[in-house]
Structure 1
């Protein structure tokens, strides 16, 4: 009815549709009819995917990766190559390691060798090392030369030294002497031995007990806290400090000051007290009456501000100035010349004496209110001298005239006014007639009558008396 095949599949085919059966391909083949051969070198098995031919077996030892390439990452040190069959050639190096692929040496050069191929170093005299970075230590030899690799000195020993390490040759110098001919005496006080370097004289013996350092100075570093001196016999004197520690040699205190103390000697710290207070804790109030400031000494409370005017002395007591003086120390002179007394207020200098006769008011100004007209002066004893004026009044102090000038007079002194005389007249009251013949004008000087007009035509000379021809 359906036409579905009922017979068995041919060999190499399987399934309801008799598709090529690759599941039964023998190992090393793949494809629909297993006609292809797997290409899987460097593997533990020739097996591959039956459809794609992708290799599925594990890589052989020495091979790695998806394509089982030669694995050089696991070559032992000193070998390289695809199968690690080659030996690294790395002479004069600290390691035989080389690049796993190329065989290029990677280890550092041995001391005394340098460069990419680790050739023997050509260091200058006195230097050694792979890059000649080290200095030969051959002070006891006649030459600073040393082995370029190890730094071993090669020069001969200096006189007085012997042996492979050029140790001092003490076979000839007696203990306590040094120098090429042992002529010098070692100077090594405070030591257990007078021995010294045979060449330099540097002391080599250990310090005596109680001495230390390169020069065997007294050892005070072990003194207990609070003591000092060569034998720690002195006691540190460090009051007002958080510690009794002091310098082991000088006894100078080293501990920090206690709270409320400051400075190199840890004196009470009163520098921060507000103005008007004093004492270790600033609890005291300055008592500074009659001063310009309430400030006082932070330790003693002694007032430091200046006295107010009228007060003087260390305690700013009211000033007892002599008559005619005032000020905080009576340094000023009263200015009271117009009074019957030079006395004044000791603080302000205000005059207190009565005004002299003829003066009045708080400032003792001249009292001219009672002088009669025509008099002046402190007692009106002087007569005003004011001629040519409409009034005899004058300044009550100076006598300067104050009235207006009479007609025909002018100026501060009311002199005759001649500037207003008519032409041809002169004199104080213009009573004179100008005499100016032979002139174009009969004008003349208002005071002297000297002619001022030009000569008339035909006349010359100073007085216009000469008649021309």
Structure 2
């Protein structure tokens, strides 16, 4: 029919064919195409890690397939910094919430902002923010938005008193630049609030992995699948079949 476009997406399913003992150390799964991301070799078939994950990876569902894509990326602020509490200290991998200026970012003024450049557009879902102990109120009610578009808020940090630290927020969107911005209102004891962040972790699944916990496998040809649904933008890999949605 003229003027009508049909979108075809695939969920690729099939049987993993694996000869036990043939994967190199640190590899697993279909055609040994997945990496374990844990110091101790993972299960060759399932990818399950028995110990901790490598630096920059978080375990979920027994797998170390959630990567902190903000780690050691470029960070900046337009608010200036208080003394030597630089923006880069919020992505240095040190989440010590008692670390002060040795590991935390502290904006010099209010309103305040902090931005990390992920290097490319990526599909996001979960963000973990570590506030300085005793100073969460400086970050409360801050908005999170992408690609410098302040009109489109992706998530908002919760208000006290129910504020676990670190704080996990959901941000379902795609972007390269992630910004946290505090308007400066709602401070304590008459002081305007300026961002005081010890670490920001932004998680994405490994290529070929999807789901909220990054523990389900997709089998797309020359592409990765949707982080949440597992849908492939094109064809399946050889040996796997798909269904039209």
TM-score over 0.5 for the alignment?
no
TM-score tier, shorter chain, comes to under 0.3
Taking structure 2 as the reference length, the TM-score comes to: 0.23
Taking structure 1 as the reference length, the TM-score comes to: 0.14
The structure with the greater share of residues assigned to strand is 2
| Structure possessing the higher relative contact order (Cα contacts under 8 Å, 6 or more residues apart) | 2
Q: For the pair shown, which has the larger CA radius of gyration, 1 or 2?
A: 1
